[in-house]
Amino acid sequence: MAKKVVATLKKADAKVFVKVIRMVKNDRTGGYAFAEQIMSQEDADKALSGKK
């Protein structure tokens, strides 16, 4: 399935999309989980720098 996502996101006139994987801590158990999102590169830069 990952190949299909990459193939559909690679178009000449499309925006540049990236897959962002973040670790999210569960307050109740203290464990970590991974949250995956596909977003434009500009939004990813903002999200990873801590700005919204």
Q: Tell me, what's the pLDDT at 43?
A: 85
Tell me the whole-structure pTM to 2 decimals: 0.55
**Average pLDDT for 32-38:** 91
How many Cα atoms within 13 Å fall on the side-chain side of residue 6? 3
- Say how many Å lie between the first and final Cα of the chain, rounded: 29
Q: Tell me, what's the pLDDT at 6?
A: 56
6-12 long-range contacts (CB < 8 A, ≥24 apart) are 9/38
| Residue 21 or residue 7, greater confidence | 21
Q: Tell me, what's the pLDDT at 15?
A: 73
How far apart (Å, rounded) are the C-alpha atoms in residues 32 and 24?
6
Q: Which two tokens stand for residue 45?
A: 């830069």
Helix/strand/coil for 41: helix
Q: Tell me, what's the pLDDT at 33?
A: 94
Q: Tell me, what's the pLDDT at 32?
A: 95
